[in-house]
Amino acid sequence: MADCPPLLIVKKETIKGKEEKLAIMKAKEFGNLHGDSNDLSIVDKQVESPTTKGKSLRNKRNSKAMSSKVKCKINKRTSAIDRIWRLPLPTSYVNKADGSNILTYIRSNSNASATIFKSMQGNDTLAPYVVSFSSRGPNSITLDILKPDITAPGVNILAAWTPLNSVSQVKGDNRIVSYNMMSGTSMSCPHVSAIAAYIKSFHPTWSPAAIKSAIMTTATSMSATKNPEAEFGYGSGHINPLKVLNPGLVYDAGPIDYIRFLCGQRYSTKRLRLVTGDNSTCNATTSAKVWDLNYPSFALSTSPSQTNFTRIFNRVVTNVGTPVSTYRASVTGAPAGLRIRLNPSVLSFTSLGQTMPFTLTVEGTIDDPVVSTSLVWDDGVHQVRSPIVVFVFES
């Protein structure tokens, strides 16, 4: 069990509806009172304050009253203060330096008190960035399929809330609300789902793969400086609903493409049919390499022993932009030692729905564990961007 983070929790005491002074307690006394843990422990210690002096805060586990201590289960990753924790009572978060100053004040003043003022709206100038608790790549099952695909709003989202749970989901918190502040994939997923439905309403014949491609290739680039894991943190970038309807080109794929991909991943016919629900089979003619799945991103894993590598990716793009258009390829910011070639490097279309194949060849060496760049197809109106990631993987 890890120590609590350097937070200060301030408990507001009321007696018969009358607000009294505030009892100040260290995080180690109050612990992890937030919606991720319902594990309230029995308190053996009295906490003295101007409003609680002489009153024991010891409560039984199932009591409706709040316990003044819970078990701390916070590790280094989840202790980052980059999201709202739903707590059963008014609280304030402070950093270690401020917390030390406050504790010094508490210890030097027998009648220490504090006030929680009305919240003020702030502007996070670093946004958008990936929150600390979000999963990171690489893809542990299929290394050469880049994951995550996309980043979407999922932190401190005001969302509908069930009346069957209290605000904090902590025993003793009986507040019922229609909306609550939520964070997680459960919040980012609805944003992406809604945008996918939005695309489908304008393009009812598009496949799921085409919709996914439109979302990924129009995403806004994110900063590797703010997100050290780079594409393994944010994928293709931050979703941009203003561009998804008109991506220019899409990387389309159908059921047969994924059947060939799964067969290439050594699926047996029995396992394949569990996925497809039909009579599909895996054999030499239905097997394809992972690098040939028509995916809107490119990932290549290498081993520490590989001093030089060459890999060819086969792709096909479909014109959904301007009927007569010419796209030119560019690779931005290719790291030293990495050579990327496109064949052809110019794609000329004469009609909507027309498809054109190309190959992308990645070769060379890398000095860092992970390097990345981007392929952009540009016709002067549309910029169809796909991340390219090469990384060293030690099994």
Q: Which CATH number belongs to the domain containing residue 220 in this structure?
A: 2.60.40.2310
Residue 95 and residue 211 in one domain:
no
When mean pLDDT is compared across 72-81, 187-196, 286-295, the lowest value belongs to: 72-81
Which region among 74-78, 233-237, 316-320, 338-342 has the lowest average model confidence (pLDDT)?
A: 74-78
Same domain, 327 and 236: yes
- Give yes or no: residues 90 and 208 share one domain: no
pLDDT bin (cut points 50, 70, 90) of residue 57 is very low
Name the least confident of 85-94, 238-247, 316-325, 343-352: 85-94
Q: Are 375 and 248 found together in one domain?
A: yes
Looking at the structure, do residues 363 and 248 belong to the same domain, yes or no? yes
Give the pLDDT confidence score for residue 391 in this predicted structure.
Answer: 93
Q: Which of 126-130, 245-249, 277-281 has the lowest mean pLDDT?
A: 126-130
Provide the pLDDT for residue 377: 97
Residue 361 in any domain: the answer is yes
Within-domain flag for 328? yes
Q: For residue 186, what are its two tokens?
A: 């459960």
Q: Return the percentage of the chain with pLDDT > 90, whole number.
A: 52
Domain span including residue 75: 1-119
Checking if the pLDDT of 191 tops 90, the result is yes
End residue of a domain, out of 119, 138, 157: 119
Identify whether residues 381 and 241 lie together within a single domain. Answer: yes
360, pLDDT greater than 50: yes
Is the same domain home to 371 and 225?
A: yes
DSSP assignment of 226-268 equals TSTTTHHHHTT-B--TTTTT--SEE----HHHHHHHHHHTT--
Task: Decide if 176 is inside a domain.
Answer: no
Q: Residue 103 above 70 pLDDT?
A: yes
Least reliable range by pLDDT among 19-28, 181-190, 281-290, 360-369: 19-28
Over range 111-116, report the average pLDDT: 81
68 or 111, greater pLDDT: 111
Averaged pLDDT for residues 325-332: 95
Split into its structural domains, the chain has a count of: 2
| 144 falls within a domain | no
Q: Does the bond joining 128 to the residue before it have cis omega, within 30 degrees of 0?
A: yes
Assess whether 62 and 203 both reside in one domain.
Answer: no
Asked if residue 89 belongs to a domain, the reply is: yes
Q: Which residues contact 71 (CB under 8 A, 6 or more apart)?
A: 1, 31, 32, 37, 39, 41
Residue 161 located in a structural domain: no
pLDDT, averaged across the chain: 80
Q: Which residue among 104, 119, 134 closes a domain?
A: 119
Whether 112 and 193 map to the same domain: the answer is no
> What pLDDT score does 202 carry?
97
Task: Look at 48 and 350; give whichever has higher pLDDT.
Answer: 350
The two three-digit tokens of residue 291, written as one number:
């690098």
The C-alpha torsion from 175 through 181 and 183 to 185, rounded to 10°, is: 90
Q: Is 325 part of any domain?
A: yes
> Same domain, yes or no, for 94 and 243?
no
Query: Do 301 and 196 lie in a common domain?
Result: yes
8 A C-beta contact, residue 243 and residue 321: no
Cite the beta strand spans of the chain per DSSP E: 8-15, 18-26, 157-160, 179-182, 249-250, 298-302, 309-319, 325-332, 338-343, 346-349, 355-364, 370-378, 383-392
Q: Which of 119, 143, 173 is the C-terminal boundary of a domain?
A: 119
pLDDT in tens, 136-184: 989 989 999 999 999 999 988 998 999 999 988 888 888 999 999 888 8
